[in-house]
A and B are shown apart, each in its own frame.
Chain A
Amino acid sequence: MTNDTPIIEARGVSKYFGSVVAIEDISLQVRAGEVMCLLGDNGAGKSTLIKTFSGVHQPTEGTMLLDGEEVLFESPRDAIDRGIATVFQDLSMIPLVGISRNFFLGREPTKGVGPFKRFDMAKADRVSREELSKIGIELRDTSQPVSTLSGGERQSVAIARAVYFGAKVLILDEPTSALGVKQAAVVLRYIAQTREQGLGVIFITHNIHHAYPVGDKFTVLTHGRSEGTFDKDEISPSELEKLMAGGAELEKLEEELQGGSSGSEASAAPSNGRESDE
């Protein structure tokens, strides 16, 4: 299911902002047909890392490799043109504008020549209807505003758009964090589907319950450093959660709450998950 050369790879990447170390010595590989979950608490350096992948930032140290060859993404546009598509949290969609118009915004198909060159609405409608149908969204009317879709559907449309326009690697920035359980499931199912199409997916989240069902590999970031990358069969959700919280802190919390109704998932953890620092 996976190809040996990673589609995209970070090798020892660090990013400093002045004297602030945002991320340090991060190595990460994503292969085709693989979902790499990037886990970390707020401020762990997730967004700096994905902005390095998507061309917003350039690494201070280390190198990025695309299909095994060294690259430098000079701008987000540069990364997009090389097949690295990032779906940011704001989705880059216009709420009151129709779905097919949104789908093709900035990349409109045209027909006709000279002054009669125009937006090929028929094609836009047909393609967006087909593409959305593939992900289980049957549209009554492709001209209905994006705001008529549910949060999960909107997220899926944004992903479908990136896939349609030739993404090889999809970077999803917290795609499920603003969604309810049911809506999150819609998006997660679609992420799994995208993997089947042979794309590499980087799924950024702080929610292990969203990451674990679809993830193949998990990289945990704390304080700008990698706690390591784990295959799914190497690690349990609760171990991941401990890593994310820096382990010790949750254990401390557990001790504090001992006797009371803790209800924390960490309490269900197998007792062998204590390797918190490296």
Chain B
Amino acid sequence: MTQSATSASERIRDVGFLKRLMTRPELAAVAGAILVFVFFAVVAGDRGFLTFGGTVSYLQVAAQLGIVAVPVSLLMIGGEFDLSVGSMVGAAGMIIAIATTEYAWPLWAAVLLAFAVALGIGFFNGYVVIKTGLPSFIVTLGMLFALRGLTIGFARLLTGRTQVGMGEDLGVLTPLFAGTVAGFPVSIIWWLVLAALGSWVLQRAVFGNWVFGAGGDASAARNVGVPVNRVKIMLFMSTALGAALLATIQVLDAGSADVLRGELLELQAIAAAVIGGVLLTGGYGSVIGALFGALIFGMVQQGIFFTGVSTDWFQVFVGVMLLVAVLFNNIIRRRASEAR
């Protein structure tokens, strides 16, 4: 046995790189993103897809999804779902708008309040999942409805409306969330920085190893001393925080909050993570994959617009792509995990 293994290890230099590439979880998402880009460059290249404006438009869509998809992918690798992120976006946006307009809070205080509420909701999600042992799918599905309902109820109670416009003077924080850098919306920077941070945490930090452990086999991880409960609760808090950040960006960008903001975002974020190679049952995946998953979403949504075809077809495209990507990811994962 020793001998055959040794001779195999000497062979690695020849096939190593390509073989390793073929086992990366994010391979399908990266390849898919290139494919989608080429497709729209050919079909809609002369209609503005390749212009600066076109690029910014799809990057912005990708960024808004990606800011949530990054923490969602981490949570999913940690073995849990969060279906309440969409409702959290609506709630956080409304908190900021109502606090600044109805109660004349300074913007920074309103944003801080929204973030604090998000952390609380995330903690609650995680705590309930851990304490009850119920699937997070159910717990956060409950939160999806409850939080949306609370947002609508309180918005009507406090303002009589379901949409609240922000005042004229938004304060010094605005450029941080809704400004531009060299013509690019700052949300794109947020997205890239979050993805880099998330990827670093997953791949390089001790916490990342615990995320894999918690998602791969929680009881095995507990046996070797991983604080699984703490890891999961922190992941739930990070998804809620991602939603609050997106809400801040959207409110300041649009100048108004709407109780229905973020609808279906939870499913898009899961789709982006899954396209990016995250295993639905946890313990496997990458943040970079989710970044590219979100990029694909952005390019398809805006690309279809540039082709001139009705954007009604966007969801068909997304559905088919999700299926193809998951099939492809399954093949890659099997290759990576089979005995060699």
Contact = CB atoms under 8 A, between A and B. Distances in A.
Interface of A: 76-77, 88, 90-97, 101, 104-108, 110, 117-119, 121, 136-141, 144-145, 147-150, 186
A186 B2 CA distance: 10
B283 A97 contact: yes
B208 A119 contact: yes
Contacts of A96: 216, 279, 283-284, 333, 336-337
B220 A145 contact: no
28 contacts: A76-B223, A90-B217, A90-B219, A92-B221, A92-B224, A94-B217, A96-B284, A96-B333, A97-B212, A97-B283, A101-B209, A101-B212, A105-B210, A105-B212, A106-B226, A108-B206, A110-B206, A117-B205, A119-B204, A119-B208, A136-B2, A138-B9, A141-B20, A144-B336, A144-B340, A147-B338, A148-B338, A148-B340
B310 interface: no
Q: Which 4 A-B pairs have the closest CB atoms?
A: A94-B216, A106-B224, A106-B225, A92-B220
B204 A140 contact: no
Contacts of B1: 136, 186
A150 B5 CA distance: 12
Contact of B220 (A77, A90, A108, A139): A90
Interface in B197-230: 204-206, 208-210, 212-213, 216-217, 219-221, 223-226
A92 B223 contact: yes
B229 to A, nearest CB: 14
Contacts of B216: 94-97
A96 B329 CA distance: 14
B254 interface: no
Given A90-B219, A118-B205, 18 more contacts: A90-B220, A92-B224, A93-B217, A96-B216, A96-B284, A96-B333, A101-B209, A105-B212, A105-B213, A106-B210, A117-B205, A118-B206, A119-B204, A138-B8, A138-B9, A148-B336, A150-B339, A186-B1
A139 B337 CA distance: 15
A147 B209 contact: no
Contacts of A148: 336-340
Contact of A93 (B205, B208, B220, B279): B220
B212 A137 contact: no
A137 B340 CA distance: 13
A97 B78 CA distance: 12
Given A104-B209, A150-B339, A186-B1, A77 B225 contact: yes
Contacts of A94: 212-213, 216-217, 220-221, 283
A147 B338 CA distance: 6
Interface in B308-340: 333, 336-340
A119 B337 contact: no
Contacts of B221: 92, 94, 105-106
B132 interface: no
A164 to B, nearest CB: 12
Interface residues of B, number: 36
B75 to A, nearest CB: 17
Given A105-B209, A118-B206, A147-B339, A140 B333 contact: no
Contacts of B2: 136, 138
Contact of B5 (A76, A101, A138): A138
B158 interface: no
A105 B337 contact: no
Contacts of A149: 339
B72 to A, nearest CB: 19
A91 B221 CA distance: 10
A255 to B, nearest CB: 43
A153 to B, nearest CB: 9
B333 to A, nearest CB: 7
A76 B220 CA distance: 13
A147 B336 CA distance: 9
B18 interface: no
Given A96-B284, A148-B338, A137 B220 contact: no
A137 B284 CA distance: 24
B134 interface: no
Contact of B204 (A90, A121, A138, A139): A121
A117 to B, nearest CB: 8
A77 B338 CA distance: 33
Contacts of B217: 90, 92-95
A95 B337 contact: yes
Contacts of B5: 136-138
A93 to B, nearest CB: 6
Contacts of B224: 92, 105-107
A140 B206 contact: no
B157 interface: no
Nearest to A139: B9
A149 B338 CA distance: 8
